[in-house]
Amino acid sequence: MTNHPLTSKIRSGGTDSLAIHCGDFRFQAAFHEFLNQSLNLNGNYDLMVIPGGPLSLTLFEYLPEYQQAASKWVRFFAEMHKISRLILIQHQDCAFYRSMPFQLHSQAELRQRQEQDLRRIKELARKEFAHLSVELYYASWDATDRVMIEPVST
């Protein structure tokens, strides 16, 4: 077995932020650039990377075990790491999202459904974790394949 020495060192102290986004390989570099540079977190955040990202927090009607697990994980970070900031990022052309039954949403267009669910998660988080500041974002790409991330209005 080969060791891989790195220049990274273990971070001390704490964080106040938890980010949740999808594991889609196409967006990973952009998500990390956004979190580290645009939001100035500089690697100081907890991270949940799961298929569909924040979608798992809304699946109580369809896949309740996913919703229960995701809620427990958020609760863990909120209690154990004392987070006060929740950053939720959805993205264009999410395959996991497209695999969900359409009847779970009142909107036909994918982005509208994703934004609707982000707003729903924010309302649920306010009830369950009143101390959390919840930020909603949507990642997409333009004609030159450049990724852009924009806030979702509530």
- Return the pLDDT at 102: 60
> Is residue 119 in some structural domain?
yes
- Return the pLDDT at 59: 65
> Is residue 6 in some structural domain?
no
> Is residue 52 in some structural domain?
yes
> Is residue 81 in some structural domain?
yes
- Return the pLDDT at 107: 61
Q: In what order do the strands lie in the sheet with 147-151?
A: 46-49, 17-21, 85-91, 133-141, 147-151
pTM summary value: 0.90
What letter does residue 12 receive in the DSSP assignment?
P
> Is residue 113 in some structural domain?
yes
Query: For residue 142, what are the domain limits?
Result: 17-98+109-151
Total domains present in the chain? 1
> Is residue 8 in some structural domain?
no
Helices (H) and strands (E) in the chain, counts: 4, 5
Q: How far apart are CA 140 and CA 148, in angstroms?
A: 6
Q: Identify which of 154, 152, 128 has the alpha carbon closest to the alpha carbon of residue 139.
A: 152
Ordered per-residue pLDDT tens for the chain, 154 residues = 899 989 988 888 889 999 999 999 999 999 999 999 999 999 999 999 998 899 888 866 667 788 889 889 999 999 999 999 999 999 999 998 878 766 555 566 889 889 988 998 999 888 888 889 999 999 999 999 999 999 999 8
Coil vs helix vs strand at 28: helix
